[in-house]
Amino acid sequence: MNPKPSSKKFLFGKRNYQFLFLALFVIALGFILMTGGGSDDPNYFNEAIFNFRRIRLAPTLVLIGFGIAMYSILTRETPKK
């Protein structure tokens, strides 16, 4: 009885994983851009929490990252001939 060599195959193709890692990077960048703007002094309110970067840019990057992740999961690898 000869044991068959098991050829382990990844679930997604190389391009799908590249898009998935790009999505993770974009999501992480969005969350990093959301940080900061707080104040240690309770008597001082920092208006920097309402700037463009934290209110518009960072959430947009997070949503774009989730879109890229969905694209990377749902696309099929084209078979090579």
Taking only the tens of pLDDT, the chain with its 81 residues reads 677 777 788 788 889 999 999 999 999 999 999 998 777 888 888 888 889 999 999 999 999 999 999 999 999 877 777
What pLDDT score was predicted for residue 1? 63
Q: How many CB atoms lie within 10 A of CB 30?
A: 19
What pLDDT score was predicted for residue 50? 87
> How many domains does the structure of the chain reveal?
1
Question: Letter for the amino acid at 80?
Answer: K
Q: Is residue 5 part of a domain?
A: no
Q: Is residue 1 part of a domain?
A: no
Q: Is residue 69 part of a domain?
A: yes
Q: How many CB atoms lie within 10 A of CB 74?
A: 8
Q: Is residue 4 part of a domain?
A: no
What pLDDT score was predicted for residue 75? 92
Q: Is residue 60 part of a domain?
A: yes
Q: Which domain holds residue 24?
A: 14-74
- Distance CA(10)–CA(54), nearest Å, equals 37
